[in-house]
Amino acid sequence: MVGVVGAVAGSMGAVWLAWNPEEQTMAWVQTALLLAIFIAFIGYKSWRFRKWVALCGQGAALLDAGDLGAAQRALEDADGYALRPPERVLTRFQLGLCALFQGRVDAARAAFLALSRGWRTKEMPDVYVAAPDMLAACLALQGDLVEARHWLEEAHRRRRPGVVNLSLGEVLILCREERYGATVRLLDDRREFVEKSTVLYRKLLRVIRAFAWDALTTEEGANQGEEPKDLEPFRPGEFNSLGGQWPRMEAFLRARGLTDREAA
């Protein structure tokens, strides 16, 4: 864009001089005006980018800390300042995460579906891989396991060879398929990744493991499942996204006091 504006300004100045050689003074004035407009335009773009960086960083930090309402407001403001496609892709991915963790699974699903299908998403490689995985997580929460598997496979296909991480989509699909032993093993195998995750993500994964262990021990005839240990302080309803369309998970959350416990 900068090169285009500069080329246009230079061309206009050259044309004016060629057609009006006796009015070179006026031509230089016009060229200076074009240059001033060009500099102002660059300054405006730079200002918007700095605003986007600040708001996006603030929103990401609030999201990591679990302050979802404040994170959503900051990210919506950031989206208003985004000019380039990569900026919009990253901001809208984080807004999708906000919606998911707030329990607005339909909104999150729509956001991740748009990103998963959008060709501009390729300009942000991390989002290009993560969007279909988070879409699979949304679909699993809603019980649409066939479609969830499709998008999980798409996420695996996009991932670079040799990259190992923990897929929330895979964890939730295993849980919804009632493969509780596989869920526990996967989370235990990726324990280091879980512990290094952001606060909200880590708490979510710990609750899912506790649920899977509880279901597993219940199926095996034990009287009591594993209590969710070492849970960090959380806000009331922080895990509602898990149980909104998943009756067994909702019952577990209620039984463990994880839907209405006051934040510490």
Query: Considering the chain, what is the average pLDDT of its residues?
Result: 81
pLDDT at 148 over 70: yes
Helix axes 85-101, 24-65, angle to 10 degrees: 20
Q: How far is CA 58 from CA 45, 78, 85, 156, in A?
A: 20, 9, 20, 30
Q: Quick one: what percent of the chain has pLDDT higher than 90? A: 38
pLDDT tier at 38, thresholds 50, 70, 90: low
With residue 35 as reference, give the H or E element that holds it: helix 24-65
193-245 per-position pLDDT tens digit: 888 888 888 888 999 999 999 888 877 655 444 555 555 556 666 787 888 88
What DSSP assignment string belongs to 190-241? THHHHHHS-HHHHHHHHHHHHHHHHHHHHHTT-S-----TTPPP--TTTTHH
What is the reported pLDDT for 32?
65
Provide the 8-state DSSP code for 257. Answer: T
What is the reported pLDDT for 25?
60
40-81 per-position pLDDT tens digit: 667 667 777 788 788 899 999 998 887 888 999 999 998 888
